[in-house]
Structure formats: structure tokens, C-alpha cells
Amino acid sequence: MLRGKQGFATLDFDGIVEEEEESPDDPSRKEPTSASGFPPSIPSIIEQKIVYIDMDNVLVDFKHALRERGLDPDMNDADEIGGIFSEMIPMKGAVDAFHLLIKSDKYDVYILSTAPWKNPSAWYDKVQWVKRYLGPAAKKRLILSHKKNLNRGTYLIDDRQNNGAKEFGEIEGQTWIHFGTGQFPDWDTVLSFLDV
């Protein structure tokens, strides 16, 4: 939020999306609400556990885009192919799982992904994918980082130990949910573990 002479402006990736007059008594100003539609109480916000969800092979079916291009889904450096991230579809159950977690009063949910350094289009494509498939519920909930262990939270749902995922789980009070393994093969098992 930026403050100017006339009031406030809220910005997002597309620029100014809302301008507000500087009147705290304005009835059109909306208070934040919880999933239930009521303003969240301080204790409910404090009690929420932070969950981070990786994109590639957790929310996003990375290999599908490679197969669609006629490429080997297990090829090395596939994430460096320009535009590849714009062609991906959601993993089975991922979109529903994301929305269930968001609607739960138990969790504060963010997307924590890594965009390849050598593929600048991936940064843009990941934002567009989130907007397209997850919609307004995911607005401003995307974090792109090569050091996931710098984030603090309760859970990280990730399919690989790279980019700080393993180290995230080694920090006291934090758990790395290793997606796609025997313990967590799919979204149903993850949601069951998180009791959603």
C-alpha cells in the first residue's frame, strides 16, 4: 500500500488496482475476513500454522508439458526450456487441495517455489499459472526463492530435497512433507495428515 496526498493505493503485479480515500470512517472500507466471513481474531491468526506448497510436481504437473512437446519427461535441465512453465496443468487433486487448505481456519497457506535462474520466462509464467488455476484465493501468496529454508512455518510440501526443502524440515518445529513418496504419494494422503 502506498500513501499519497489524496489517500492510499494498493498495487499488485498488474499495477494500481484500488485507490482509497484517507477516511477511517468510510463504510466502504472492508475489514479483513477469515474463511468463515467474519473478521479474524488475533488468537485465530496466531494459532494458524503456516503451510508452504511447492509448485513443480506438487501443484503443477511438470512432466505433462514435456510429454506434450514430445520430450523425455525425465530429461535434465527441462526447467530451462523457455515458456515450458506456461504449458503445465495442475497435478491431480492439487487445485481442490489448495482451496481446502485456504478455507481451513487451521492454516495460512503460501506457494513456495523456485524459478530457474537461467529461464527468466519461468518467473512470469509461474505467476500467471497461479492466477489462472488458483485464482484470487492465491493473490499475493506466491514466494519464489532458491533458499526455501529461509522461510519460517510449520510445513513445506515439496517433492524434492533441493533448494532448502530438506533443511527446512531440519529446523525445530518445522516439517518437510516429502510429496510423491510412499508416505505422501498424493494429495489425499497430505490432506489426511494435515487433518483437512
What's the CA gap between 186 and 176, in Å, rounded?
A: 15
Catalytic residue check, 56: yes
Distance CA 18, CA 8 (A): 8
Is the separation of the CB atoms in 118 and 157 below 8 Å? no
> Taking a C-beta distance cutoff of 8 angstroms, is the pair 60, 132 a contact?
no
DSSP state of 115: -
- Provide the β-strand partners of residue 11: 16
Set 25, 26, 56, 186: catalytic member: 56
Cα–Cα dist 188/94, whole Å: 9
Catalytic residue among 14, 54, 188, 195: 54
Catalytic machinery residues? 54, 56
